[in-house]
Chain A
Amino acid sequence: MNWEIVMGLEVHVELATKTKIFCSCTTQFGGAPNTHCCPVCTGMPGTLPVLNRKVLEYAVKAGVALGCEITRYNKFDRKNYFYPDLPKAYQISQLYLPFARDGAVEIACAPGLTKTIRIHEIHMEEDAGKLVHSAYGEASFPDYNRCGVPLIEIVSEPDFRSAQEVLAYLAKLKSTFEYLGISDVKMEEGSMRADVNLSVRPAGSQALGTRTEMKNINSFKSIERAIAYESARQIEVIESGGSVIQETRRWDENKGKTFSMRSKEDAQDYRYFPEPDIPPIEISDEMLEKIRACQPEFADQKAARYVEEYGLSEADAKIIVASVRMASLFEDTVALCGNPKEVRYWLLGEVLYFINDRGMTLSDFRLDAQSFAAFVKIAASERINRRGAKKLFEAMIFADHPLDLEAYIRENDLEQVDDAQLIREAVRAVIAENPKTVEQYKNGVTKVAGFLVGQTIKRLSGKAKPETVNRIIAQELAKL
């Protein structure tokens, strides 16, 4: 039988505010255990939460960007359960009035093919702490640094049919939030986490099968593996005559399997009720207008503009806009030097090479728009050839301190040689030294001319202008 996989996603995204959602402790990642804590985020008796203004702003930005209807009258609710990573024994979240509903995200699921994923709702909530487990022994150690870090949870409709769609959706969310500047969206640091609700059904069926919820998936790669594993597991259960149990399953990265978490967890009765300590939040027309007005240009729009405005290929444009930093570096540099093709050449050639080959990131380079633009102007001029330019570029991006380009050209004698007389002398010397090659050329093997060009440039310490060398070699060979 053919099976269809049906999935819905619950994505938690940590908002990049400076302070926690309900107190003024820092949200900085890491830190010694329990050092980013105060009476409020550790749930000390008598303490009260006060909402961080920035959290609301960032959340609404996300809701608008994902095409949601924004709830104008918001409340927080308490979700009650006992666990040592939750010091108040309730999580402040939103159940009854989530701040955003009914959104939609367009994803590219195959070349030229898009699909709409519907967003059911987005709500704000606080993160829980972290439990460190001793390698042996019988204890766990709560660390509350993460308690109260602001999150939004984006709940999709069950619109996914393949792991590729899930990945495309996550990439789209990641890019959207990066362009909005509201989250670091790093799965490895836990600033973006996805829970996958998955069920299977015979292809063509409209009814939904029993679903399981997979938690603890913390990289794009493991999402794909987890989906493959869990869907195969469910199909096997059904095909061998069993039935899938609705439960939460934990993804074990090392074992590459999902494991049932205690079914008691599913029987949880969270006893949600309106949070009395936080007055309702009203989102005014004015605030919404302001947020709508300052939505940034997102990746897809940007890429289309690069093609249109700068004449980039679609493929190149997509690579550049995949990273917010690369896109802004590209645009700022182009604005300063007016040469998109040349900027593209260095960004996608050199920089991307180091990124892909050496696993570096853009921030590992010394590369700002000003110096990049100055460099591009030199590289595109007659003063320096490609070889010299490459040397200069590498010197610039790996320098310990800002590089004086002119001084470097002078000190390394990179200025291009375009003196016909000088070049002609060198060409003649090369012809004299390579009679065999010249012989081949005369016998019709014209491609050996390239070797002679190379020899000439080498003779001139690599600084000769290749076009001039070509021209003179052709002239000299013709004379023979």
Chain B
Amino acid sequence: MEITKLTALQTAAAIRQKTLTAPEALEASLEAIGATGEAVNAYITVCAGQARERAQQVQAKIEAGVLTSPLAGVPVAVKDNICTKGVRTTCASKILGDFTPFYNATVIERLEAAGAVIIGKCNMDEFAMGSTSETSYYGPTKNPWDLSRVPGGSSGGAAAAVAALQAPIALGSDTGGSIRQPASYCGVTGFKPTYGTVSRYGLIAYASSLDQIGPIARDADDCAAMMDVIRGKDDRDGTSLTVDQGSLLDAVRATESLKGMRVALPAQCFEREGLDGRVADAVRTTAGIMEELGAQVQTVDLDFLDYVIPAYYIIAAAEASSNLSRFDGVKYGMRAEEYGDLTDLYKKTRSEGFGDEVKKRILLGTFVLSSGYYDAYYRKALQVKAIIKERFDRLFERFDLILTPTAPATAPILGESLADPLKMYLSDIFTVSVNIAGLPGISIPCGFDGAGMPIGAQMIGQRLQEATVLGAAHAVQRLTDYHTRTPEVKA
């Protein structure tokens, strides 16, 4: 048995069936990190000691029959913007380099209650601002399929860890595509839940109205199992929703055909400048598979695509400028070595502590909220948000699912994107509108380009239709094997 190639559900099943133990599963992941960790740089912190201790306890509880969750004993990698009690949480920023929370994010509490073993904290773009994981203060993460390429971002570390078999499953966060796009670039499955489905308590906010935590895994079933663990109303998050608590995993596994499912294929997502033809072809092939499974696929018009990126960047930057103001060198994190008065302390700390992309978005956000510009930018963006939501709502009256490429192209070479920020922003064009409208979306591997880099297909559902989205992904994955392929990491 190649332990690291097991999915999360298979790992847990093997532990339940006593062919594997939680400590053994953990050691397998730690070994993989030992072998390829430095080359991929998927983790900022590996908490081997705590994880080993925890794996022992979990194993004992599984044996005692106390822990029966479908993910009990599974090692989980966690993006480093999710607070873990006693384990430093950096957001890949210098400013939080020594920040160790004394509280857990709600998702961490839920993971631990379900018997998961947190193995480490994953690299990312600083404060989740980026699409390549290159803006990390702790160095860029590399794509396990080709170390000269980026893994995508901002949850690049989490996606790379799963792709490089350094963890069977991970938690990422998605503000404009930060789970789906790196999943696509790394050939794994990433699910962004409906806004409000998973508690944001303990997720260090980038853009509060768009952020959502979700799983990155080998397949849709693992994503569903993880969702069953982490989702649900949380009294500490006012935006968390009370939703049906039935098992998503059961619903997803029961999806064998897509008979009667109406799938929309937005024309604008398949013919546009900068779109890689092989990406479009691979996603069309996925559409064909869905038709084979009984779905009715129809091309539709999605005319607002040109507006989604500006609206997204205005809203996200505005909220970020406010959310990141608390990093001021007073209560936690770093403080500049030398400073004069209070204002100087603030300015030096923030100027030394934040990287350029973060500073740029803070400035952009401050600008769009500032006196005299609010109406023209921020208010306008909220109006566009209303229009986007309404258009999606109308589309979902006629369709159950929208199928698009996850990103216009496969993973770029390191350094290419940062040279052209606008181009990097455009790599999110298919993903950001999902966050603006609060919809659930998944990226599944659907092929490879000429360079052998993975291509991802994105499926989008109406709000709270997680079962539809995950079910469709499950059904497609039953007929394809892209998600089972793993890269040979050349360490």
Q: Is B369 an interface residue, CB under 8 A from the partner? A: yes
B322: chain A residues within 8 A (beta carbon): 78, 80, 89-90, 271, 273
Question: Restricting to B301-333, which residues have a CB under 8 Å from any CB of A?
Answer: 318-319, 321-322, 325-328, 330-332
Nearest B residue to A268 via CB reads B371
Question: Restricting to B184-212, which residues have a CB under 8 Å from any CB of A?
Answer: 200-205, 207-209
B202: chain A residues within 8 A (beta carbon): 46-47
Q: Is the CB of B370 within 8 A of A82?
A: no
How many Å lie between the Cα of A47 and that of B234 in the bound state? 12
Q: Is the CB of A273 within 8 A of B378?
A: yes
Q: Kindly identify which residue among A44, A272, A278 contacts B332, using a CB–CB cutoff of 8 Å.
A: A44
A137: chain B residues within 8 A (beta carbon): none
How many Å lie between the Cα of A84 and that of B328 in the bound state? 9
Q: Is B235 an interface residue, CB under 8 A from the partner? A: yes
A82 and B328 contact, Cβ closer than 8 Å, known pairs A39-B103, A45-B204, A271-B366: yes
How many Å lie between the Cα of A45 and that of B325 in the bound state? 11
Nearest B residue to A78 via CB reads B322
Q: Is B236 an interface residue, CB under 8 A from the partner? A: yes
A48 and B326 contact, Cβ closer than 8 Å, known pairs A82-B346, A276-B208, A276-B319: no
Q: Is A388 an interface residue, CB under 8 A from the partner? A: no
Q: Is the CB of B205 within 8 A of A271?
A: no
Q: Mark B367-406, 1 if CB is under 8 A from A, else 0.
A: 0011100100010001000000000000000000000000
How many Å lie between the Cα of A277 and that of B323 in the bound state? 11
Q: Is the CB of B319 within 8 A of A44?
A: no
Nearest A residue to B211 via CB reads A276
How many Å lie between the Cα of A88 and that of B325 in the bound state? 7
How many Å lie between the Cα of A271 and that of B319 in the bound state? 11
How many Å lie between the Cα of A51 and that of B239 in the bound state? 11
Q: Mark A253-293, 1 if CB is under 8 A from B, else 0.
A: 00000000000000001011110111100000000000000
Q: Is B238 an interface residue, CB under 8 A from the partner? A: yes
Question: Restricting to A10-46, which residues have a CB under 8 Å from any CB of B?
Answer: 39, 42-46
A278: chain B residues within 8 A (beta carbon): 238-239
How many Å lie between the Cα of A90 and that of B323 in the bound state? 9
A273 and B369 contact, Cβ closer than 8 Å, known pairs A45-B83, A48-B201, A48-B238: yes
Q: Is A87 an interface residue, CB under 8 A from the partner? A: yes
A46 and B325 contact, Cβ closer than 8 Å, known pairs A51-B238, A269-B371, A279-B238: no
Q: Is A158 an interface residue, CB under 8 A from the partner? A: no
A49: chain B residues within 8 A (beta carbon): 238
Q: Is the CB of B369 within 8 A of A46?
A: no
A48 and B200 contact, Cβ closer than 8 Å, known pairs A80-B322, A88-B326, A89-B325: yes
Q: Mark A65-78, 1 if CB is under 8 A from B, else 0.
A: 00000000000001
How many Å lie between the Cα of A90 and that of B325 in the bound state? 8
How many Å lie between the Cα of A264 and that of B145 in the bound state? 54
B374: chain A residues within 8 A (beta carbon): 271, 273
Q: Is B101 an interface residue, CB under 8 A from the partner? A: yes
A269: chain B residues within 8 A (beta carbon): 370-371
| Distance (whole angstroms) from the CB of A467 to the closest CB of chain B | 71
Centre residue among A44, A49, A78, A142 by max chain B CB count within 10 A: A44
Q: Is the CB of B326 within 8 A of A45?
A: yes
How many Å lie between the Cα of A347 and that of B204 in the bound state? 59
Q: Is A429 an interface residue, CB under 8 A from the partner? A: no
Question: Restricting to B403-454, which residues have a CB under 8 Å from any CB of A?
Answer: none
| Distance (whole angstroms) from the CB of B336 to the closest CB of chain A | 15
| Distance (whole angstroms) from the CB of B54 to the closest CB of chain A | 21
Q: Is B105 an interface residue, CB under 8 A from the partner? A: yes
How many Å lie between the Cα of A277 and that of B200 in the bound state? 10
A279: chain B residues within 8 A (beta carbon): 238-239
How many Å lie between the Cα of A279 and that of B371 in the bound state? 25
Q: Is A50 an interface residue, CB under 8 A from the partner? A: yes
Q: Is the CB of B239 within 8 A of A46?
A: no
Interface size on A, residues (CB 8 A): 29
Q: Kindly identify which residue among B103, B203, B209 contacts A276, using a CB–CB cutoff of 8 Å.
A: B209
B382: chain A residues within 8 A (beta carbon): 274
| Distance (whole angstroms) from the CB of A275 to the closest CB of chain B | 8
B207: chain A residues within 8 A (beta carbon): 276
A272: chain B residues within 8 A (beta carbon): 369
B82: chain A residues within 8 A (beta carbon): 46
How many Å lie between the Cα of A46 and that of B236 in the bound state? 11
Q: Is the CB of B332 within 8 A of A46?
A: no
How many Å lie between the Cα of A44 and that of B101 in the bound state? 8
B163: chain A residues within 8 A (beta carbon): none
B102: chain A residues within 8 A (beta carbon): 39
A82 and B325 contact, Cβ closer than 8 Å, known pairs A44-B103, A48-B236, A273-B378: yes
Q: Is B96 an interface residue, CB under 8 A from the partner? A: yes
Nearest B residue to A84 via CB reads B330
Centre residue among B209, B238, B321 by max chain A CB count within 10 A: B238
Q: Is the CB of B201 within 8 A of A47?
A: yes
| Distance (whole angstroms) from the CB of B353 to the closest CB of chain A | 13
A274: chain B residues within 8 A (beta carbon): 382
B21: chain A residues within 8 A (beta carbon): none
Q: Is B458 an interface residue, CB under 8 A from the partner? A: no
Q: Is the CB of B101 within 8 A of A45?
A: yes
How many Å lie between the Cα of A278 and that of B237 in the bound state? 9
Question: Restricting to B57-103, which residues have a CB under 8 Å from any CB of A?
Answer: 81-83, 89, 91, 96, 99, 101-103
Nearest A residue to B341 via CB reads A138
| Distance (whole angstroms) from the CB of B137 to the closest CB of chain A | 16
Q: Is B1 an interface residue, CB under 8 A from the partner? A: no
B238: chain A residues within 8 A (beta carbon): 48-51, 277-279
Nearest B residue to A144 via CB reads B331
How many Å lie between the Cα of A49 and that of B343 in the bound state? 27
Q: Is B342 an interface residue, CB under 8 A from the partner? A: yes
A50 and B236 contact, Cβ closer than 8 Å, known pairs A42-B331, A43-B331: yes
Q: Is the CB of B326 within 8 A of A43?
A: yes
Nearest A residue to B345 via CB reads A84
Question: Restricting to A87-105, which residues have a CB under 8 Å from any CB of B?
Answer: 87-90
Question: Restricting to B17-70, which residues have a CB under 8 Å from any CB of A?
Answer: none
Q: Is the CB of A87 within 8 A of B209?
A: no
How many Å lie between the Cα of A49 and that of B239 in the bound state? 10
| Distance (whole angstroms) from the CB of B237 to the closest CB of chain A | 5
B203: chain A residues within 8 A (beta carbon): 46
A89 and B101 contact, Cβ closer than 8 Å, known pairs A45-B89, A46-B205, A273-B369: no
| Distance (whole angstroms) from the CB of A268 to the closest CB of chain B | 9
How many Å lie between the Cα of A142 and that of B342 in the bound state? 13
A87: chain B residues within 8 A (beta carbon): 326, 330-331
Question: Restricting to A324-373, which residues have a CB under 8 Å from any CB of B?
Answer: none
How many Å lie between the Cα of A369 and that of B239 in the bound state? 48
How many Å lie between the Cα of A142 and that of B369 in the bound state? 28
A142: chain B residues within 8 A (beta carbon): 330
A50: chain B residues within 8 A (beta carbon): 235-238
How many Å lie between the Cα of A45 and that of B319 in the bound state? 14
| Distance (whole angstroms) from the CB of A274 to the closest CB of chain B | 8
A80 and B83 contact, Cβ closer than 8 Å, known pairs A44-B103, A48-B238: no
A45 and B369 contact, Cβ closer than 8 Å, known pairs A50-B235, A84-B342: no
Question: Restricting to A284-305, which residues have a CB under 8 Å from any CB of B?
Answer: none
Centre residue among A42, A80, A276, A278 by max chain B CB count within 10 A: A276
- 20 pairs of residues in contact across A and B, judged by CB atoms under 8 Å: A39-B101, A44-B103, A45-B326, A46-B81, A46-B101, A46-B202, A47-B103, A48-B236, A48-B238, A49-B238, A50-B236, A84-B342, A87-B331, A88-B325, A142-B330, A271-B366, A271-B371, A273-B322, A276-B209, A279-B239
Q: Which 8 A-B pairs have the closest CB atoms?
A: A89-B325, A271-B369, A276-B209, A276-B208, A46-B202, A45-B204, A269-B371, A46-B83
* Residues of B in contact with A (beta carbons under 8 Å apart): 81-83, 89, 91, 96, 99, 101-103, 105, 200-205, 207-209, 235-239, 318-319, 321-322, 325-328, 330-332, 342-343, 346, 366, 369-371, 374, 378, 382
Extra contacts, 12 of them, besides A48-B200, A89-B322, A271-B321 (Cβ < 8 A), are A39-B103, A43-B326, A44-B332, A45-B99, A46-B204, A48-B201, A80-B369, A82-B343, A87-B330, A276-B239, A277-B239, A279-B239
